[in-house]
Amino acid sequence: MTVYSEAERHRIIRDALKHRPFATVRDLLDLLAVSPATVRRDIAKLHEDGKIRKVFGGIALPEHAESERVHARPFEENRVLNVAVKQAIAIEAEKLCRDGDTIIVNGGTTCYIFARLLATRALTVFTNSMPVAATLWESGVCHLVVGGGELHREPGVLFTPNAPENEFYASKFFVSAQGIGPEGLMESHPLMSRLIDDLARRADEVVVLVDASKFAIRARHSVIPLSRISTLITDSNLTDIDAKMLADEGVDVIIVDGNTSA
């Protein structure tokens, strides 16, 4: 069995993020063949030095490197990042729902956490997201309506481009995004861009659920303009510049604690 020095372990840990944005602790244990305590010490040291970012369940790229990425992470990778902040955002989003409401919930990990809070509510929920539909089916009593179509595995949605439009309308559309800026909500996946645009036209209000890191990401497709957003829920790491941008477009902003660790 190869025994690595600390410097070699740190290089291997950093190399684990060269071709993917997230690695689990189990991944690192398999790569290094050392004790969990050693891996935790290495992660803590690299995190302090700004070489990697410690997240719930593993490691991710540093914030400065993450902001340069323009492609979407798979759902399973994204669901373990910024978990506590996403939960706080989801709790605030649930407060906007009244029993008897008909709502649309899009895909994404923040919306998935939000949907879990809705499971026992007296609501009608429409979704094209397989993870959202699955959690509402397994543990929910709400009235669930699932959009039909082909399964697109990476974003985890059901959608057929040439299918007849769903005759479903709602008071609110809850949606997250890959990025957000002056152009509005942004996605790199063209399918998600079309799907979100279609669902937004079926709701009276658009409610956006994004952590503040999304304001540093620029994806290639603009989906919904800021002026179409009624409410945006984010965390306290929102910059003054981005807060002013939202205020100028008349977006009602709800802030949760952004310093909660996962």
Same fold, 6-66 and 77-256: no
Would the CA dihedral through 71, 86, 133, 186 be positive or negative? negative
Q: CATH topology for 6-66? A: Arc Repressor Mutant, subunit A (1.10.10)
pLDDT in tens, 72-102: 454 444 544 568 899 999 999 999 999 999 9
Q: What is the pLDDT of residue 260?
A: 55
HEC states along the chain?
CCCCCHHHHHHHHHHCCCCCCEEEHHHHHHHHCCCHHHHHHHHHHHHHCCCCEEECCEEECCHHHHCCCCCCCCHHHHCCCCHHHHHHHHHHHHCCCCCCCEEEECCCHHHHHHHHHHCCCCCEEEECEHHHHHHHHHHCCCEEEECCCCEECCCCEECCCCCCCCCCCEEEEEECCCEEECCEEEECCHHHHHHHHHHHCCEEEEEEECCHHHHHCCCCEEEECHHHCCEEEEECCCCHHHHHHHHHCCCEEEEECCCCCC
Quick one: average pLDDT of 145-167? 77
**What is the rounded distance in angstroms from the CA atom of residue 36 to the CA atom of residue 38?**
5
Question: Token pair for residue 226?
Answer: 């800021």
Structure confidence by residue, pLDDT tens digits, 177-208: 989 999 999 987 777 888 898 899 999 999 99
Average pLDDT of 17-27?
72
Confidence of residue 1 (pLDDT cuts 50, 70, 90): low
Q: Check residue 69 and give its pLDDT.
A: 46
Read off the pLDDT of residues 26-77 as tens digits, 9 standing for 90 and up.
Answer: 888 888 989 999 999 999 999 999 888 887 567 877 755 544 444 445 444 4
Residue 254 half-sphere exposure toward CB, CA atoms < 13 A: 19
> What is the pLDDT at residue 21?
59
Judge: domain 77-256, CATH 3.40.50.1360: yes
Low-confidence winner among 4-8, 102-106, 191-195, 224-228 (lowest mean pLDDT):
191-195
pLDDT of 137-147, one tens digit each?
988 889 999 98
pLDDT in tens, 203-224: 999 999 999 988 988 787 889 9
pTM for this model (two decimals): 0.70
Across the chain, mean pLDDT equals 85
Q: Can you tell me the distance from the alpha carbon of 105 to that of 130, in angstroms, rounded to the nearest whole number? A: 11
Q: What is the CA radius of gyration of the chain?
A: 19
pLDDT for 2 equals 76
Domain ranges of the chain: 6-66, 77-256
Rounded to whole angstroms, how far apart are CA atoms 110 and 235?
Answer: 13
pLDDT exceeds cutoff 70 at 108: yes
